[in-house]
Amino acid sequence: AATQGFVDALNTILGSEHVNIDVQVASGDSTTCTPIVNSFVNKKVDLIMANATPALQAAYNATTSIPILGTSVTEYGVALGLSDFSGTVGGNISGTSDLAPLTEQADMILELVPQAKNVGLLYCSAEPNSEYQVKVVEDYLSNKGLTCTRYSFSDSNDVAAVTTKAAADSDVIYIPTDNTAASCAEAIKGAATKPIVAGEEGICKGCGVATLSISYYDLGYKTGEMAYEILVNGADVSTMPIAFAPQFTKKYNAAICEALGITVPDDYIPMD
């Protein structure tokens, strides 16, 4: 959806006859990102859009001269190993973040499962952005008196077993925006017997009760607008701060909420 938004933005603003967009998909294999990006560098493209953290990291390592815009990246400082990140990456990189306010996500746990005392934090240990989100939520909920326990899986092979353990030990589970969890949502649903609050809508549709949702299409469209500023108006990518989704919406998964007996407040809307 973010890629489509990016493409549509440039085709709309520039006109499709004035822009050539080469879309290459790594198909969930992060190692494939490197040869794709290297081919872009060899072609001397004018700009690289990198969708999600592995693509951004590959682009970051491939060129310091071609402008790079990331999208669907949660936290750029964590993704790129920047110790002094304060909202602007600098160099040849900027982009958009899919991070929803983490404390507001945590508050949804308190709203939907008010009796909860033990929260399981379920995520992939190989994804640094997931570690970042889990740490913020863990600190926030711990300060409110809840007991938080981390349950991490290394890849898709141990998702079901780790989820089963998390569900047995917890009153509610939190899953951040996590690529591996998103690809394994059905396996998580099959193993989870407790409510799951998810960091993004894709995971929530598969296995969650609720999420603080953004539109990835709109996020990609915003990234396309940034590309236009760079390519046509000469904007300096090094000074462009990371942009965020324009709005967030509380959404719930009606079927799973009904199955688990979750009462949803009036300010939540059902997912499509």
22: which residues sit within 8 A by CB, 6+ positions away?
Answer: 40, 43, 45
pLDDT, residue 100, reads: 87
Judged by DSSP in three states, 124 sits in: strand
pLDDT, residue 125, reads: 93
Q: Rounded to two decimals, what is the model's pTM?
A: 0.78
CA torsion through residues 128, 129, 134, 135, sign: positive
pLDDT, residue 36, reads: 98
- Identify the segments of the chain with pLDDT beneath 50: none
Phi, psi of 266 (to 5 degrees): -70, -20
pLDDT, residue 129, reads: 86
pLDDT, residue 246, reads: 80
In sequence order, what are the beta bridge partners of 94? 69
pLDDT, residue 193, reads: 93
pLDDT, residue 214, reads: 87
pLDDT, residue 253, reads: 97
Alpha-helical segments (H) within 101-253: 102-112, 128-143, 159-169, 179-183, 185-191, 201-207, 216-231
